[in-house]
Amino acid sequence: MQFLDRINELKEILNKASEAYYVHDKPIMEDFEYDRLMSELIKLETEFPEYKTIDSPTNRIGGEVLSKFEKVTHDVKMASLADAFNYDELKDFDSRVKAVAPNATYLCELKIDGLSVSLKYENGFLVQAATRGNGLIGENITHNVKTIKSVPLKIKENLTTEVRGEIFMPRKNFIQLNLEREQNEEELFANCRNAAAGSVRQLDSSIAAKRNLDVFLYYYLNPFVTTQEESLIKMKNLGFKVNQLYRHCNTIEDVISYIEEMGQKRPDLPYDIDGIVIKVNEIKLHDQIGETVKYPKWAIAYKFPPEEVKTKLLDIIYQVGRSGVITPVAIFKPVFVQGSMISKATLHNEDYIVSKDIHINDTVIIRKAGDVIPEVVRPVIEDRTSDCIPFKMIDVCPCCKEKIVRRNDEADYYCINPNCEEKLINKLIHFASKPAYNIDSLGDKVVEELYKKGYIKTISDIFKLKDHYAELILLPGFGEKSIDHLLDAIEESKKNNLDQLIFGLGIRHCGGKISKLLCSKFKTIDGLMNATYEDIISIGDVGDAIALEFVAYMSNPINQELINELKALGLNMNYEFGEIKENYFTNKKCVLTGTLQAMGRTEAKKLIEGFGGVLSESVSKKTDILILGENPGSKYDKAKQLGIYIMNEEEFLAKIKE
């Protein structure tokens, strides 16, 4: 029994040390001593596996590997919150609350930018962790959550209960992770939330264990607590990590004051927040205030406006697109903005730069448009120094050095050299990309390498790669397996629908939506090649510029030769969408904003279009429905302003099944 006593002693010491360090941020033990004791415990548990328990700190090391994630049905729906983007909307929320519950007060908490999680405990032990999913059904991520050191494997009372919170990745850990991925030539994570979500969805828990995730708990499913503040205090006493920067506010003016204060502190926090959550503090009032189909009426999330930061503009470089358009790109001193390190942003065109009076070496204001795309807002004129260089547009292509031209009715300059290498590579990259012909394994770097090695110079060359099999498997970094996979993917892609081919050809003004409209009208490649300007302009949503460009492309003998060659190579030349089944979405124009938990954007698009609807990229007066996912962007604001019907994911899933 002496070994069991020592195992129990080590567990108690290490669990106390972990709680002190990861929950209370007050270390009580040196790292060296912690590692020494952990090694001793691992050795004892290996020798006496019958004594290892589910609350052992060795479970945090990871190593469990799943084949897939199991689905979990939540006992109580994990609801999302309505958003407010300005103080007037907060005051409207306050008026609605006070009309029903005049004595209500508010509990304000930081809105952590991470991934929602539910933790279930039985008799004090962690038994299940699940993602929010669509609010009703999530995924079991217990094997990964056990590796998060701030999540207690055993709480301080033998309770059977559930708590909810947000898993996140601290900024310093995010930066370190991306540095490691960059060194390993792996794709970088876009931001802390993206990194956290990717980590908890690893099938191998040892990978999640290395990511140093953290958690804050904010919701306690306990019928005996009377206020939200009491819930937070109770969770803290049980050993959960609770964010201490919450505040009890008596009035909406107090709430706004808190938001202003936290907005100032936001850049200095060690984790990302994207707003403030405001809840009616008195839990007994929640049922009285009620909820809508989508959201509780007793809570709201105030979203911060885009964060703006200063940095130095080091240079302006130029990129050549597949159409030959020359795009100026700002290169600036790397700066951390809303969860990610950014070092460049498009400057669009000459007029944009001149209108903003941007100089090289200026101090500039950077932000993320829609919380996603980096943009240069303006230069800080008062900080301009004598070494700042006024902008001057180049007059030759940065790739082929041929003269560039600006068309009379456009702001862009173009390289018109048909043999410009960068243009040709980008055309091939576009063709193979997921939104276009979607050839698996033929990514940007592979396209560029195969182009420079001379294997693909035109789109038709992609489908002749199999003729070079013996040479391809000898290329560094490829090998037999990867080439087999690539050639299989190319062969499989020949079955793609005609609209994917038309979009992939890169015809000017002819995006995915227009390609689908044209193909649904003319059905075959021959029908498209024979279509006149008048035929095309008669289609709704197809304008003059599109019709002119499309007819010009199809009339060009070089393009006709390419299409005939692709025909001979066996590519599908028909539009085969199948019979449209009428549904709620038939003839409706929809826009999706945010992230759907149940499916990706591509799948949602196929479903809507399968019912005869259209999924557009932008909100306008013609939009019928805005489908609202998690973390919506500016489209949500515009839809509210225009009075467009807003549908949450739960309702969307119900409607597609009708």
Q: Which positions are catalytic?
A: 111
Contact 137, 130 (CB under 8 A): no
Contact 403, 396 (CB under 8 A): yes
DSSP conformation class of 151: S
In whole angstroms, give the CA distance from residue 19 to residue 333: 38
Backbone φ and ψ of 438, nearest 5°: 55, 60
> If DSSP states are collapsed to H, E and C, what string results for 632-657?
CCHHHHHHHHHCCEEEEHHHHHHHHC
Q: Which of 367, 356, 364, 401 is nearest to 383 (CA)?
A: 364
The pair of three-digit structure tokens given for residue 467, joined into one six-digit string: 């003729």
In whole angstroms, give the CA distance from residue 592 to residue 617: 7
In whole angstroms, give the CA distance from residue 22 to residue 147: 12
The pair of three-digit structure tokens given for residue 58, joined into one six-digit string: 């060795």
In whole angstroms, give the CA distance from residue 540 to residue 527: 18
CA torsion sign, 615 to 616 to 622 to 628?
Answer: positive
Backbone φ and ψ of 194, nearest 5°: -60, -40
Please state whether 274 falls in left (phi above 0), alpha (psi between -120 and 50) or beta: alpha
Q: Which of 47, 108, 51 is nearest to 81 (CA)?
A: 108
* Paired strand residues for 647: 627
Distance of CA 13 to the CA centre of its chain: 40
Task: List, as one string, the DSSP characters of 495-542.
Answer: TS-HHHHHHHTT-TT--HHHHHHHHHHH-BHHHHHT--HHHHHTSTT-
CA torsion sign, 622 to 627 to 632 to 636?
Answer: positive
Beta strands 389-390 and 413-415, pairing class: unpaired
Query: Residue with structure tokens 């003998």?
Result: 557
Q: Is 68 exposed, middle or buried (0-12, 13-18, 19+ CB in 10 A)?
A: exposed
- The torsion angle over the Cα atoms of residues 503, 504, 505 and 510, rounded to 10 degrees, is 20
